[in-house]
């Protein structure tokens, strides 16, 4: 009898050992891998799903490991969770997910947006979390974001307008948004963001409008390097010396033809301040009519691009409008008055390269990058 009791307890102990979870253990539910990250409280993250064939995943707030009958809260998308996964196109996250970790969606060429069951709970985006990813719209993701890791959206596919919420405090290190396609960058709501680190928006050739953070104190090296379409920037500081700007912050950008909007009463200070004085125009006030709105109001169409000889500018109203053509260094080459509904600009005598067409109207201005073949 004693022998049977011993065997019973030995077997029971063995079953408990088999079923017990430890941090790092992996289990699968509905073809999705989860990794245990904490046992007190019980928490998991989405684990290695790089080879998953699923195209759509709705992540629950809690998930049960049926092997142990243990329920866990889902709190993160783990490191490399969907790295190189081309199958996933849609993912919906619960508010319990607070972090998207290192390279979680890197090289995920199918996914374009991150959706939320109710509202975003994400506060931390890890290093290269969306590196070379197809994601195009992240504004909803940024509702509570506090920290963006190095190279987080580098070479992703961000388009149109990118804006942040007041919660954003830290852009870590560099190249956070390198080589993206967005046209408007609005950081003005980020009251706690004080530093734009080196190369934050490097090689984003379509950026035309930038609103800087309210309490900005530093702009790093090459932050806007290669932003060749930059047309307007708004800064909130009344004293330009309160912002340390690296001499290379705007190298290769379009500031020679851009307008800098500064607080009332501060224009004269910016006109003599290093780097800021290099803007083509400095005016007091806020950016009101955006570049996109000017284009839409006047129904501008500029083509062909690239071109070898003539650029045609069509609009529903070209009266009192002009085009100034600059080379990539910011040197003004010539100015043409635009009349009627269509004007042809002859650039056949210019060498092959990139040129900036600055269109000025009675309602505002915008700049287009034209490639001469």
Location of structure tokens 């928006």: 201
CB 176 within 8 A of CB 148: yes
Dump the DSSP string for 314-362.
E-S--TTEEEEEEETT--EEEEEEE-TTEEEEE-TTSPSEEEEEEEEET
pLDDT digits (tens, 9 = 90+) for 125-146: 999 999 999 888 887 788 788 9
pLDDT of 239 above 50:
yes
pLDDT of 14 above 50:
no
pLDDT for the residue numbered 292: 54
What's the 3-state SS for 206-244?
CCCEEECCCCCCEECCCCCCCCCCCCEEECCCCCHHHCE
CA–CA dist 95, 334 (Å, integer): 55
What's the whole-number average pLDDT of the chain?
86
pLDDT for the residue numbered 149: 93
Residue with the larger pLDDT of the pair 20 and 207: 207
pLDDT digits (tens, 9 = 90+) for 304-349: 888 899 999 888 766 778 888 887 666 789 999 888 788 899 999 9
CA 65 to chain CA centroid, Å, is 36
Decide: residue 246, CB within 10 A, 0-12 exposed, 13-18 middle, 19+ buried: middle
- Mean per-residue pLDDT, 265-272: 94
pLDDT digits (tens, 9 = 90+) for 144-189: 889 999 999 999 988 877 888 778 889 988 889 999 988 889 898 8
pLDDT of 13 above 60:
no
Distances (CA, A) of 23 to 20, 33, 46, 252, 355: 10, 14, 13, 49, 57
The class of domain 25-285 in CATH terms is: alpha beta
Is domain 291-372 annotated with CATH 2.60.40.3080? yes
What is the pTM for the complete model shown? 0.75
Confidence bin at 248 (pLDDT 50/70/90): very high
- Mean per-residue pLDDT, 27-55: 96
User: CATH 2.60.40.3080 occupies which residues in the chain?
Assistant: 291-372
User: CATH 3.80.10.10 occupies which residues in the chain?
Assistant: 25-285
């Amino acid at each position: 009898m004693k022998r049977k009791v011993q065997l019973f307890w030995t077997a029971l102990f063995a079953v408990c050992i088999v079923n017990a979870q430890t941090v790092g253990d992996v289990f699968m539910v509905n073809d999705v891998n989860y990794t245990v990250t904490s046992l007190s409280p019980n928490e998991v993250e989405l684990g290695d799903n790089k080879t998953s064939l699923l195209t759509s995943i709705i992540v629950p707030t809690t998930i049960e490991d049926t092997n142990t009958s243990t329920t866990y809260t889902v709190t993160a998308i783990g490191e490399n969770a969907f790295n190189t996964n081309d199958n996933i196109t849609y993912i919906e996250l619960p508010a319990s997910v607070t972090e998207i970790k290192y390279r979680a969606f890197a090289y995920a060429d199918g996914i374009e947006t991150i959706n939320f069951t109710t509202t975003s709970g994400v506060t931390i985006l890890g290093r290269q979390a969306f590196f070379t990813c197809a994601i195009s719209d992240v504004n909803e993701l940024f509702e509570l974001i506090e920290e963006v890791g190095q190279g987080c959206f580098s070479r992703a596919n961000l388009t149109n307008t990118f804006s942040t919420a007041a919660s954003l405090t830290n852009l870590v290190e560099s190249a956070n948004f390198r080589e993206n396609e967005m046209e408007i960058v609005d950081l003005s709501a980020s009251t706690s963001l004080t530093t734009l680190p080196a190369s934050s928006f490097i090689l984003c050739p379509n950026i035309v409008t930038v609103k800087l953070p309210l309490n900005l104190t530093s702009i790093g090296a090459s932050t806007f390097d290669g932003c060749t379409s930059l047309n307007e920037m708004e800064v909130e500081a009344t004293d330009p010396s309160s912002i340390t700007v690296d001499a290379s912050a705007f190298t290769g950008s379009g500031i020679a033809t851009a307008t800098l909007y500064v607080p009332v009463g501060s224009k004269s200070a910016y006109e003599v301040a290093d780097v800021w004085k290099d803007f083509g125009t400095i005016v007091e006030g806020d950016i009101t009519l955006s570049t996109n709105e000017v284009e839409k109001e006047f129904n501008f169409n500029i083509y062909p691009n690239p071109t070898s000889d003539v650029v045609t500018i069509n609009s529903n109203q070209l009266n009192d409008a002009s085009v100034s053509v600059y080379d990539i260094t910011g040197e003004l080459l010539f100015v043409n008055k635009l009349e009627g509904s269509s004007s042809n600009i002859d650039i056949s005598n210019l060498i092959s390269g990139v040129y900036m067409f600055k269109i000025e109207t009675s309602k505002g201005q915008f700049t287009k990058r034209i490639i001469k073949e």
